[in-house]
Amino acid sequence: MLKKILIAAGILVIVVVAALLVAGYVMMKGPDLARYDALKRPRIVQKPDQRMLQVEAVGDPNTAGLKAFALLFQTYYRNARTKGPVAPLARWPQPFDTPQDQWVGRYALPVPESLEKLKETPAAPGMAVTLTTWQYGEVAEVLHVGPYSAAAPSVEKLMAFIDASGYVVAGPHEEEYLRGPGLFGKGDPDKYHTIIRYRVEKKTPPPTPR
């Protein structure tokens, strides 16, 4: 399990770089990163469910992700534009040893709960934008600052914290991209900010011997 998670940290974040360039093009200014300083230490918190614009795309994220994020941001700015920046997210529901051309990526942008129906959706062959709700509850998360290729220690730290806290992973690998190539910066890998997140649940205690 840990090996697959480390693959996610070391590979998946990298392969969505091209897609994030699209996000950086349409967003004018970044979030206040100082508010995330405390997240450099892993934590478990209660996170409310979030309404999302989502594109589920199958295939190599270098190509499928690029198209998905492009479609998402076009739809977002036609239907749900709000003040301030919006950070893109991605979830990976399959095992990470799945052949890359069969990967399923769930690319998303958060939107207001009040958005109940899309007024206008750009056309994209083989892809569709849907409104959905990402379920959360208790989550474990940590902020990784630095190059995507150096994310493995952050994931290891998060996994160790989850185990030591009496929890197990109960959901897919999730990434929230606060700053990256083309995202509110000049492409300095040492300043990339990525939240790595998992839904978690309490460990089931072993049965009491009779």
Q: Does any domain span residue 148?
A: yes
Give me the mean pLDDT over the 132-154 stretch: 93
Least confident of 87-91, 108-112, 189-193: 189-193
Q: Does any domain span residue 79?
A: yes
Q: Does any domain span residue 208?
A: no
Instruction: Supply the pLDDT for residue 60.
Output: 86
Evaluate whether 23 touches 73 at the Cβ level (below 8 Å): yes
Q: 10 Å Cβ neighbour count for 35? A: 8
Q: Give the whole-angstrom CA distance, residue 168 versus residue 203.
A: 6
- Give percent helix, percent strand, percent coil of the chain, each to the nearest 5: 35, 30, 35
Q: 10 Å Cβ neighbour count for 39? A: 19
**Number of domains the chain contains:** 1
What range does the domain containing 182 cover?
Answer: 2-202
Q: Does any domain span residue 99?
A: yes
What CATH number did the domain enclosing 125 receive?
Answer: 3.20.80.10
Give me the mean pLDDT over the 102-120 stretch: 91
Percent over 90 (pLDDT), the chain: 46
Q: Does any domain span residue 32?
A: yes
Q: Does any domain span residue 207?
A: no
Q: Does any domain span residue 157?
A: yes
* Integer CA distances (angstroms), 129 to 92, 165, 197, in order: 17, 37, 23
Evaluate whether 43 touches 141 at the Cβ level (below 8 Å): yes
pLDDT, one tens digit per residue, over 149-205 is 788 899 999 999 999 999 999 999 999 989 876 544 456 788 889 999 999 999 988
Q: 10 Å Cβ neighbour count for 83? A: 4
Nearest to 127 by CA among 65, 188, 46: 65
What length does the chain have?
Answer: 210
Q: Does any domain span residue 209?
A: no
Q: Does the pTM exceed 0.75?
A: yes
